[in-house]
Amino acid sequence: MNPIDLQRVKVHEADACLVLANKYCQDPDAEDAANIMRVISIKNYSDDIRVIIQLMQYHNKAYLLNIPSWDWKQGDDVICLAELKLGFIAQSCLAPGFSTMMANLFAMRSFKTSPDTQAWQNDYLQGTGCEMYTETLAPSFTGMTFPQASELCFTKLKLLLLAIEIKGED
């Protein structure tokens, strides 16, 4: 990558840099190699920036370890599409419908209900139109268990709580 381009997009001021793969590419290994080279260029320009890279092939993760400023502890991370797909398949064996639920959570679709469609299908289609957000909970949630917080969110706020991240005092 050109240092002028990196300066123009203000990489040195960014909290993180996300390098996305072209999932429709003809050669996944070549796509990964090109993106790893982009990471090297970004890290050479600003070695303390957090980089998250999307790779097509799991085995290409090993090449990131050769980048001197690559640091898992500082938040550098990899999202591997092949690994995600296989993980979803494995989880679906343990929990049928898991992969469908995850796909629907991360890909919002518009829907149209129809009187000719069965009720369960209308419910399913309506669910695919829902959105997912990350929010900070109010202090009144402090001390609640996850089931208590989930029930409160569902009954009072009409939302489905999926997870809670507990942050440290620092």
Tell me: the pLDDT tens digits for 82-110?
Answer: 888 888 889 989 999 888 887 787 776 77
Same domain, 79 and 10: yes
The verdict on 78 and 139 lying in the same domain is: no
Q: Is residue 113 part of a domain?
A: no
Q: With bands split at pLDDT 50, 70 and 90, how would you rate the model's confidence at 170?
A: low
Domains: count for the chain: 2
Residues 12 and 73 in one domain: yes
CA distances from 36 to 3, 16, 109, 167 (A): 16, 16, 32, 31
Distance CA 146, CA 144 (A): 6
pLDDT at 47 over 90: no
Q: What is the amino acid identity at position 121?
A: Q
Residue where one domain finishes, among candidates 84, 118, 147: 84
**In a shared domain, residues 72 and 145:** no
> Which domain covers residue 145, as residue numbers?
133-170
Q: Which residues pair with 50 in a beta bridge?
A: 16
pTM of the model: 0.64
